[in-house]
Structure formats: C-alpha cells, structure tokens
Structure 1
Amino acid sequence: MSAIDGLPPLRDVIATHGLSARKALGQNFLLDLNLTAKIARVAGDLSGADVLEIGPGPGGLTRGLLAEGARRVVAIEKDARCLPALAEIAEAYPGRLIVLNDDALAVDWEANLTPPRKIVANLPYNVGTELLVRWLTPKRWPPPWESLTLMFQREVADRIVAQPGGKAYGRLAVLAQWRCEVRIAMGLPPEAFTPPPKVHSAVVHLDALPAPRFEADAAILSRVVKAAFAQRRKMLRAALKGQAPDIEDRLIAAGLKPTDRAEQVPIEGFCALARVMAKP
C-alpha cells in the first residue's frame, strides 16, 4: 500500500485516533489508498464537480477523491471519533473538504454542494439501500446529482443491475434502471476491508439519464413495483389486488398477463401499468 498524498498510511491514522470499526454503524474500512483512488476514478472526471461522500470513516476514499482532483468534497460522518482524522485531511487540502458531523438520512446535503454534483461513497451497510432509494426517487428529474458511485454488498449490487426473469430482479432494479445507466464497475473481496465483512462487495456506478426510459408517474410506479415484489411468489392479480378493485382489467389494459409474477415483468411493463393505474 503506497501513499497517494503526503498524509500518513491509514493504519497509522486508525491507530493514532483509536478508530476501531463499529458494527453498529455498519463500518468496514478500506485501508488500501491505491484501491480508494481506483474507486474515485470510477466516478469519472472529478475536477469540475463537488462530491458528496457518506461515512468517510478515517478518510481513505476521501483522500482518493481529493487526490483525483475533486473540486470539493462534502463528507457526512455520524461517528464523531473520526472527526480529528478528517480534520487532518482538510488541513492538507485547504478549502476542498467540508465535514458534517451528522446523520446522512437527516442532513440536507444538496444545499452544501454546488452543481455539478456527484455522489461517491463506501456506504455503511445498514443505510445503503435506503439512501439509494432516496436518491433514485427525488421530487424532480433530472436529479440534483449527475452520477452515483457506490459500494454495496455484492448481493445488493447484483439486485441493482439484475434483468427480468431472475431472483435478483426486483424493486431496486426497476427504480435504478428506469432512470439510470447502471453497471457493476468492480468487485472487492472481504479481505480488502478492516475488519473483513462476511460478504463480498462491489462498486456500482449509475449515470442519471436526462429523462426516464418510459413515461410513468414516479410515485405510482414506486407504489406498484413495491406491492408487486412484496409478494413476488404470487401472480400479479393476487399481489396487486389491493391497488385497485379492477386490477385484472388494468393489468390486461397494460399489456400484462394477470397470471405472470413480478419478476417476469420488464421495466416497460411496470411503466405501462403505472400509466393505467393513473387513470380513474
């Protein structure tokens, strides 16, 4: 592990500040600075962008983002123990790092960044999926961010990029692929982290599309998809019976088979159903 800047190796930073990872906060630290710089490069050219980072911990990815030229990084860290280590990084990169000691689920991050904005994060396992759904379902589209470059458990990453017909295909795949170009950029084994998690991880990159692939009301689509996959073993007419008394007729009007299951329906089909559901 070689340095990407003049700051101490991350193992030394962790030892100096007593930053043992806390399971309750979903913390698993990446210590290889070459690897964190590689993740930063997945996000593309950072020189003209503000970057939001969630859960920087001791600052490995933070340093990668800054070393790769991010105009400014706004890092949201809930664990106050990490603040002194992050303050040292801010001193090494004057004016380019802002650290907010706050909860990522509660803070108004958008107000702290100037467009164009990118989000790059080794997300804490316990809030990663919830944050992704929030970022994919803003009140307006295009969203306030250009791209998302996010670390997830490999199982979650596979669900984001899944295609219809498989067990991994579900709500995350529909919400992500309806409005974004998505790909798994790289995989990481457990031993890349400290402490090593029990699962493999992967970096997913999502580029926001200018407009959704198919016309649909976002709130209706989200509601229908959530209901359909909540009972994915049931036929659509049973899984969605609570959505409308004439759901079977609406499914047929959308070009769907009432006897199909949610995992068989492509994104275009769910959007067609959302348009039908929008009618009185």
Structure 2
Amino acid sequence: MGPQAKLAAFRLPPLPTVGEIIKLFGLRAQKQLSQNFLLDLRLTDKIVRKTGDLKNAHVYEVGPGPGAFTRSILNAQVADLLVVEKDTRFIPGLQMLSDAAPGKLRIVHGDVLTFKVERMFPEHLKRRWEDDPPNVYIIGNLPFSVSTPLIIKWLENISKRDGPFVYGRTQMTLTFQKEVAERLTAGTGNKQRSRLSIMAQYLCKVDNSFIIPGRAFVPKPEVDVGVVHFTPLVQPQINQPFKLVEKVVQSTFQFRRKYCHHGIGILFPQAERSKNTEKMLMLADVDPTLRPSQLSILHFKNLCDVYRKMCDENPNLFAYNFREELKQKKREKPKKETDESDLD
C-alpha cells in the first residue's frame, strides 16, 4: 500500500479550525486554571509522531481542551481514543470531533487525578511487565497546575503496576513548563537536578523530546513548554516502596544548596540525628559534602536501601516528620527563643 493510500485510510472530514471552535463555543482559556491552548496542528502532529506509531493503537488523552491534540491523534489512525476532560465547556467541541470520527472517540467528563482508567481498554491489550510496552499510550497537554501532581501520581502507579500501567509499561508523552521538563530529565550534577529528576528516572527512561515556544499557545504563557516522553523501566533502579523513596529524596533535596547531610539528617529525630545521619551516609557510601544535585541514582538507591533497614530495625522511624517536631518545639518554647535555623 502506497503512502497516499495509507493516509486515505482515515482522515477527519473538513471541520471548523480549533480557533473557530474556541470562538464558536466561547472558550476563553481560564488563567486561574492555568489553561493554555495549542492551536498549531503542525505542532500537535509533531508531538503525536514523537509518541510512536499510533496506527491501530489505543490512546488515553488527558486534558484535551478544544481538541487540537485530539485531531492529530485521530488522524494518526488510532483504533480507539479515550479523552478525559474536567471542564464542561469543552465537551460540545469534542462531541463534534466524535461525530466526525464515528466509533473512534470516547469522551469522559471527569478529573484525571481521580479517573480510573484500569478497565477502559480491552483485556487482550495487557502485556507482562517484562514484555515490550503495550499498544496503549498516554498523551496530554495539561494545565501546569495539574501536570506535576499527576506525573507523581502516575509514577507511583508505575511502581505498583496499577492505574494506566495494568496494561504493562504504558508509554506517556506529556507537556510541562520548560523548567519542569528540564527537572524531569536533568542528569547528575545538572543545576536543574531535583526531586522530580530522581522520582522519574528511577522508574522510567525519560526523554526531553523538544521545546515548544510559548508564543505557539493561546494565551501565551510566560514560559516555553517542554514535551517529555516516558517509558517505564522493566526493573526500577531503586527497589523500595515508592513512599519510602519519595521521603528520602524529598528530605535530601530539602536544602538543595547545602551539603546533602543536612537534608538526610531530617529523616531522623533531633536527639539521634547526628549519629544516625553519619551511620546512614557511611553505610550508603555517600560523601556528606556532596550537594543533593551531585548525587546519582545509585547514591539514592544505596541511601534508600540503608534507610529501609534502619526503618525495619526501628518501626517508628518511617512515621517521623521533622516539621511536626519543629512545630512541637515552637509550642514548647517562648516565642523569642524559637530557633528556626533547621528550616534554612
């Protein structure tokens, strides 16, 4: 089959442009919801191509808005597209796309942070975790306010192999503020290295596909936008529960400009902080004078493994929260004596 015949297999019929849909339904982007629309279909086509070969694939699109990505996904000849949109104003425009692509587009009015996708695609698509990724893909151009909490939620799903990952190592292509995209992909020693870098990279192969200039969006955001592609790893680089890894990583980056022993120290109550911090760093073979951004995934693996052993030996340790201890001290001390030096 030649390329022209292949393209003719499915193409959306002529429709109003995304810009016309926005005018037709009065869809102004709401600043308080950090909404920004991408109207250039050449760009949305490019992003969809970066996702992989979507012919006959099953796609879960989050935050479709006025439907620019939705059009590009449908034109990629997918078998099935499920979109979840929280804002009711966008449903009529999406319905227009559904009418133009009979049997291809399912629209759910719901919140991606709580929506359960586990039973939305056929059982036969499920693959073993060790196999190649399933023919299921996630694509999203989410409001910035939602994208970070959602990727953390999905990373936890990856660690548990539930949610969208009951089908196997489902690949994701998502947009983020450029700075967040850089954090997700930052390597050891990079100034953008952060909690997000470790949490994403210990579970996924993370690629910063390309940057979209802010001017391509309506309204134009104050920052450029990064497109990030995630493929879950067969074996996570840290083999500990997600919440434990998250606690160690968050604590370590609490004082990102200081030596790493400051952040690691807040994993322990004040009374035994110095002794336990020294013990943890020594057993994990981590130099206490490295900055958090200089720690590799292997450093974090060692830190998490040692912390797990310490928690197994002391069942109350994991529940310890240094902020609660600070609050308690504040309540006990006269106001003028309160020492906030630990908060930096």
TM range (shorter): over 0.9
2:70 maps to 62
Q: Pick the aligned partner of 2:225 from 162, 183, 201.
A: 201
In structure 2, give the amino acid aligned to 1:225. Answer: V
- SS of 2:60's equivalent in the other structure is strand
Tell me the CA shift for residue 232 of structure 1: 1.4
1:1-280 residue pairs with structure 2 within 5 A? 5-6=12-13, 7-114=15-122, 115=125, 116=134, 117-138=136-157, 140-141=160-161, 143-144=165-166, 145-244=169-268, 245=272, 246-279=276-309, 280=313
CA distance in 1, matches of 2:118, 2:48: 20
User: Considering only aligned residues, what root-mean-square deviation do their CA atoms show, in Å?
Assistant: 1.7
Residues 259 and 289, structure 2, Cα contact 8 Å, conserved in 1:
yes
Q: CA offsets, 1:60-81, max 9 Å, x none?
A: 0011111112221211111101
- The alignment covers a number of residue pairs equal to 277
Identity %: 37
Residues 216 and 274, structure 1, Cα contact 8 Å, conserved in 2:
yes
In structure 2, give the amino acid aligned to 1:155. Answer: E
- Between 217-226 and 55-64, the greater mean CA deviation after superposition: 217-226
Determine which structure has the larger helix proportion and give its number: 2
In structure 2, give the amino acid aligned to 1:119. Answer: I
Tell me the CA shift for residue 167 of structure 1: 2.2
- SS of 1:169's equivalent in the other structure is coil
Unaligned runs of 5+ residues in structure 2 are 1-10, 126-133, 314-344
- Between 180-189 and 235-244, the greater mean CA deviation after superposition: 235-244
In structure 1, give the amino acid aligned to 2:301. Answer: C
In structure 2, give the amino acid aligned to 1:14. Answer: I
CA distance in 2, matches of 1:214, 1:82: 41
CA distance in 1, matches of 2:282, 2:56: 48
- SS of 1:118's equivalent in the other structure is strand
Q: Radius of gyration: which is bigger?
A: 2
- Between 161-170 and 80-89, the greater mean CA deviation after superposition: 161-170
In structure 2, give the amino acid aligned to 1:86. Answer: L
Tell me the CA shift for residue 93 of structure 1: 1.3
CA distance in 1, matches of 2:154, 2:266: 27
In structure 1, give the amino acid aligned to 2:118. Answer: E
CA distance in 1, matches of 2:251, 2:77: 43
Residues 141 and 211, structure 1, Cα contact 8 Å, conserved in 2:
no
CA distance in 1, matches of 2:118, 2:41: 27
Normalising by structure 2, we get a TM-score of: 0.76
Tell me the CA shift for residue 110 of structure 1: 2.8
CA distance in 2, matches of 1:34, 1:135: 28
- Between 205-214 and 129-138, the greater mean CA deviation after superposition: 205-214
Residues 217 and 275, structure 1, Cα contact 8 Å, conserved in 2:
no
